[in-house]
Each structure stands twice: as structure tokens, then as C-alpha cells.
Amino acid sequence: MNSNKGKNVVITGASKGIGRAIAASFAAEGATLFLCARNEVTLYQTVAFLQTRYPEAVINARPFDISKKEQAIAFGNWVNEQCRVDILVNNAGSFVPGAVHNEGDAVLEQMIAVNLYSAYHVTRTVLPAMMTAKSGVVFNICSIASLQAYSNGGSYSISKFALLGFSRNLREELKPHNIKVCAVMPGAVLTDSWGDYDNSQHRIMEAADVAAMIVAATKLSPAAVMEDIVLRPQLGDL
């Protein structure tokens, strides 16, 4: 299987949860990481953790709020100044529960900005160099909510449906450029949003499960692409 040692891996929303787990998995393989998150403190705490645990990995990080177009482009340009991207993981996102008929006036705009526009602008910024090299993989962290509407999903679900649409359109566009695009759709994953949830019965998945599948998808032959990854708890979603 191909190694990710020395590959340039860009991960957004990398300071906690799924993003942190993905960063750890690539760091363990000796990749060169370029990380961003909105919270500067938790981002650099993650960097310190990774550098201690994986001393052979090269880790670069800067705080950006990529829900804002200008900062998403600035992050992409910061990456471009240092490398050509081999693997891009658009992980940044957030969840606000609610229903379309009664959620706050700005929730849709917020969810679209964080969950869709961030990936759109970062990807557009780093793609030209990847297209010139005719290589690379783009992962978009969607959600099981991208496939199935559910109660209390509201604008979050709308934004994740849109992110899946972005992924599928991008996949078609980038075929001639030999760049793979993969939509990752996890169900319930144990992250900070679950608080002190007792998962001793393994009712929901671990963030490392998602990371393991992403790393595995990077090791396929050039002839193969994992277009969609759907991960759900063994006993079904909550």
C-alpha cells in the first residue's frame, strides 16, 4: 500500500473532533500537515499534541475563520506559498439544530457559510496547482444528513445536502485532471458536541473510525477512487 510519508495534507477544522483525528492519522504516517481552525488556542494545543506524539511529522498551522470568504482564500494562499497540495480535507463545519419554519433568521446563512462556502473557496484556491500536477485527492466531510433528511436538521441538513452536491459536481469536473474527489458521510460520531455522553456500549462511532477510512482511501491505485464513504453506527443512528 502507498505511504503518505512526506505528502502535503491540508485539513480544515483540525483542532478537535474528526479533524483532529484525521490530522493524527496522517501525522502517524509522516505526512506534512497544514492545519487551520477558527480557535487559535485549541489549534495550537492540537499542534503541540501532534508534535509530541508524532515527532517525525512536519506540522504547520494558522488560525483562520474560513466561514468568511476572505479568510478561506487567505488560508488557501498561505498553503500555496509553501507547497502543492496532495490531499485536501474540507472538514470545517458546525451544527445548529432546528426546523426550517422556526429557526433563527441567520441560521441558514451561517450553516451555508461554515459547511459549504468554506470548502468551496479553499478548494478553488488550491486547485490550480493540483490541476497542473494532475494529481491529488479532495475529501469533503459531509454527513449522513446529506443523504437523509431528519427531524431537527433544518438548515444544517440543507447545507450538508449542498456539500454533497458540490462534491459530486467537483468529481466530474476533475476527472480529466486525474484528481480524485470523495464525499465522506458519517453518522453519529463521538465529538465534543456530545458532551459527557457515555459511549461505553459503543453506541456511536469514534472520530478515529472516520480518519481510518479517509487514510485508507488515499492508498488506492491511481485507477480507483472511493467516491462516497458512508459510515454509520452498527446499531443505527440515534
Mind listing the pLDDT tens digit for each residue in 142-180?
999 999 988 889 999 999 999 999 999 999 999 999 999
Give a yes or no: residue 238 inside a domain: no
Give a yes or no: residue 76 inside a domain: yes
For residue 185, what are the domain limits? 8-231
- Residue 191's pLDDT is 86
Catalytic residue among 54, 117, 156, 197: 156
Give a yes or no: residue 236 inside a domain: no
Global confidence as pTM: 0.96
Give a yes or no: residue 237 inside a domain: no
156 among known catalytic residues = yes
Give a yes or no: residue 3 inside a domain: no
pLDDT above 70 (res 1): no
Q: What is the DSSP string of the chain?
A: ----TT-EEEEES-SSHHHHHHHHHHHHTT-EEEEEES-HHHHHHHHHHHHHH-TTSEEEEEE--TTSHHHHHHHHHHHHTT---SEEEE---------TTTS-TTHHHHHHIIIIIHHHHHHHHHHHHHHHHT--EEEEE--GGGTS--TT-HHHHHHHHHHHHHHHHHHHHHGGGT-EEEEEEE--EESGGGTT---TT--SEEHHHHHHHHHHHTTS-TT----EEEE--TT---
If one counts the domains in the chain, the total is 1
**What's the pLDDT band for 237 if we cut at 50, 70, 90?**
confident
Give a yes or no: residue 107 inside a domain: yes
